[in-house]
Chains A and B, each alone.
Chain A
Amino acid sequence: MSNKRHVASILVLLAVAVVSTALAGDKNAPPTQKIPKGSKVFVAPIEGGYDMYLKDAIAKKKVPVAIVDSRDQADYEITGASESQKASTAKKIILGNWHSREEASITLSNLKTSEVVWAYSVHEEASTHGKRSSAEACAKHLKDAIENQ
Chain B
Amino acid sequence: MHRQQLLVSPVLTVLVLSLMIFPPTALASNPQANSNQDQTKDDQNKADAGRTASDGHLTEPAPDIKSAPTDEGQLATVNNAKMPSYSKVYVAPIVGGFENYIIAGLRNKKVPLTVVIDRSKADYEISGVSDSEKAGWAKMLFIGSQNSNEQASIKISDLRTGAVIFGYSVHKTNSVRGKQSAGEACAKHIKKIVLD
What is A's interface to B at a CB cutoff of 8 Å? 27-31, 47, 77, 79-83, 85, 88-91, 94-95, 97, 101, 103, 105-107, 109, 113-116, 118-123, 125
Contacts and interface: CB of A to CB of B under 8 A. Distances in A.
B149 interface: no
Interface string B120-155: 010000000000001011001100101100000000
Q: Which 7 pairs, one residue from A and one from B, show the smallest C-beta to C-beta distance? A: A81-B97, A90-B137, A105-B100, A28-B86, A121-B104, A116-B115, A114-B118
A56 B139 CA distance: 36
A118 B183 contact: no
Given A28-B114, A47-B97, A91 B140 contact: yes
Nearest to A105: B100
A97 B140 CA distance: 12
Contact of B84 (A27, A31, A77, A118): A27
A117 B86 CA distance: 13
Given A94-B140, A103-B180, A107-B100, A121 B114 contact: no
Given A31-B114, A114-B118, A120 B104 contact: yes
A28 to B, nearest CB: 4
A63 B109 CA distance: 24
Q: Which of B87, B101, B112, B181 has the most CB of A within 10 A?
A: B101
A105 B105 CA distance: 10
B29 interface: no
Contact of A119 (B104, B116, B147, B177): B104
Interface residues of B, number: 38
B104 A123 contact: no
A121 B86 contact: no
Interface string B79-100: 0000011111000000011101
A127 to B, nearest CB: 12
Nearest to A46: B97
Given A28-B114, A119-B106, A114 B121 contact: yes
B191 interface: no
Given A81-B97, A88-B137, A105 B86 contact: no
A45 to B, nearest CB: 12
Nearest to B98: A81
B101 to A, nearest CB: 5
B57 to A, nearest CB: 37
B179 interface: yes
A52 to B, nearest CB: 17
A103 B114 contact: no
